[in-house]
Structure 1
Amino acid sequence: MAGEDAVEQDEPAGDDGGALAVVAASAQDGEALHRVLSGGGYRARIVADGASVLDEVLEAGPDILLVDLPTALAHVDLLPGILLRHPALATLPVILLLPVDWTGETPESLGRAVSDVVFLPVRPAELLHRSSAAIARRRRHLAQRASAGHLREDMRGISADIRATNDPAVMVDALLPGVGRALGAHHVALQVFDDGRVAAHGSSWTDTAGGARAVLAAPGREHQEDALPLALALWEESATATFSTGSGAGPDGGTGSGAGPDGGNAPAPDWLRKSIAGACTVHGVVAAMGEGDTPFGLLWIMSEEQPQAFSGVAGALTQHVLGNLAHGLIQAQLIARQQQAVRKLEALNRARIDFVGTVNHELRTPLASIAGYLEMILDGVGGDLPPEAHTMLQAVERNTAKLSGLVEDISARSSQESDAPGRGPGDLVHLLSDVPLEEP
């Protein structure tokens, strides 16, 4: 087993802090490699029996594996299954030890698992350098994966907060500080253009916890015309751009003929330059926001003095959050318009009811008076009437009765609508609890 064929020696930590190396090689090569690694500050475990390599790696959890060609070839067919069962081994740096006269080709599956190659007999300085470089690459890779995982969780939380509300102000309040803290930025600004789908908006956030920083002014509606070409270009390419207010930038803050290495590839906006007034140098990344074929906003992510770190993962996650914000703002605008339309309809309905009430009141009294006097005249209170006049007054009486009936119908309908219960949210569970259940 692993313990029977392995020799472990703990040496004082060197430049790699006592990194553990497992060496699978012949006894002679293993002894030489042990001396080199120990001299470089590594803890070395030598596996003389190739069959014990996997057990030793799984038990020891080394920082690097050095394996000679015979041992590697003996395990190459098992490699896919091993990685499937133990995916963590896929990130383990593997240095393949080849004979100095080797001229053959290694199997493709083995080549994918190998990080580097060193020829035997080894040169100590080369082996230590390549081992340190491989371990450093792995540590950076693991750190980047961990950082990406944390960033993904932070961005997922921001998206959840945006989706949980229909209030644009709450969405923006979730986005700006959330993105700023997740990306370690000093300033974040949102610029929403005057678009038929959304309302124009400008806001900014500054991290004041990390030091005395001046709060940036938010971009205004007057800056839309200058920003729109940049938004269109970024949206078309599904890309982000960097910018800087530093002296390395060209006359317009971008990458014109006078742009230096720190000038970025987008112009620094005028509202930013006016806001900082030369007090500091601001570097940043800008991304477009929109939906469909056209954008309707920009997100500016900025840091003072040092360029804003922005990896491909950060870019993809930021674009995803902006997509959620764009959808939320559009939905909020639609809801606001619907609510406005409902309020207008309600106002019109109230005006109609008031009008009907006024008409009923203003018509009912004179109609009652007309009907009363007609009845008296037809009854001969004012004297006998000629037959022709009596016939005409009877027609007036009939039409007066029809008009009175119409007014009464309108009044009754208006009363029914006024007395009807208002429509609104209901408790469905409570309503269903009152429904009797039918026995099976």
Structure 2
Amino acid sequence: MNNAQLNELKQRYVASGAASPATAFADRAENAEIWDADGNRFIDFAGGIGVLNIGHRHPKVVEAVKAQLDRVMHTCQTVMPYEGYVKVAEKLSQVTPVRGHAKVMLANSGAEALENAVKVARAATGKNNVICFDGGYHGRTFMTMAMNGKVAPYSTDFGSMPGNVFRAPFPVPYHGVSEDEALRGLKMTLKTDANPKDTAAIVLEPVLGEGGFYPAPPSFLKAIREICDEHGILMIIDEVQSGFGRTGKLFAIEHSGVEPDIMTMAKSMADGMPISAVVGTDKVMDASGGNSLGGTYTGSPVSCAATLAVLEVFEQENILEKSQALGDKLAARFATWQRDFACIDNARNMGAMAAFDVVADKSAHSPDAELTAALCKKAREKGLILLSCGMYGNTIRFLMPVTIEDAILEEGLDIIETCLKELAGQQSAATA
């Protein structure tokens, strides 16, 4: 079927809240390229929203999945376990920087991982409250919608959210929130809303994902660790988007040296197969009763095979070094654009987790969400998939595969530069 036929079916049968606004349908993909149902080629700077750090259809992952399909597809690991689940748990316990000996539970999505992390934290502490941060994003289930630090579009239409979730500021000096102010806000939350004796966990992303790709300063993360230790609160780090090599280390928290009590991960964990994990200190993870954690599909054999293949690829193909090198290339190009274009500001990156802001006025740091949307639209028309994010909808984020070929990377960056020149020309004409 072609794009037009598929769009007709989408409009007729797919719920509007779940339907993509894109009109091109993926037909096949390879590393950093996608071809649609009409045969048009796209360069992929989105990576399935950070799922494809080692590219579409990495050969070793495809091989592992095919081999697993010939053996076992599903048993439900609580009914009859299998090697893949325990091998993934072993590997993750070895590479995840939580305090002490780590234990693991597997789930299907980032949101499920966060839901289970909160369950574990409540079981381990006997407390209920959870503190999250402005701009944070943790999922689309009810508990995680309550935890998100941004309302639209995630929870706008869905009524009351679960209680016992409280908010604190995230440090983004560019938008007027210093690290000291963020810490003061967190301490005030603990005084005015979330009594420490009733607070199970503080949950945050080491680099905001949907909130705009702003890294938490290492000193801020260390201060939160100290606050948690002082009050018997568990520190939960959400690495769903920042994990598996995006920042030049396997996990972004490693840049700070801080060891959390619990970490969540998903997205690039299995290069496109659905799986997530909660990894935590053994006493914490063992706090709930038997059969209290799990689900029908959690840690499926096929997804476990993909995860083990991904971890092998990281060991064998220098993915972390490639991530850092990619980040350096993006930073260099961003610096040029920030110099040459009045609308580009606040370029930043941690490894290949890179972004810049689109603004109406650099001196005022005023967001321009309309121009951001126009840039993404124009890029798509020229064959480049580009994503925006941020509290103000004006951040362009980069999530292309770390394994992207240099020529394709440059082709994609050239498309952005062409779009910026065209949009700048249109703005000049409009104000003339």
TM-score (ref. length: structure 2): 0.20
TM-score (ref. length: structure 1): 0.20
Higher relative contact order, structure no. (Cα contacts within 8 Å, ≥ 6 residues apart): 2
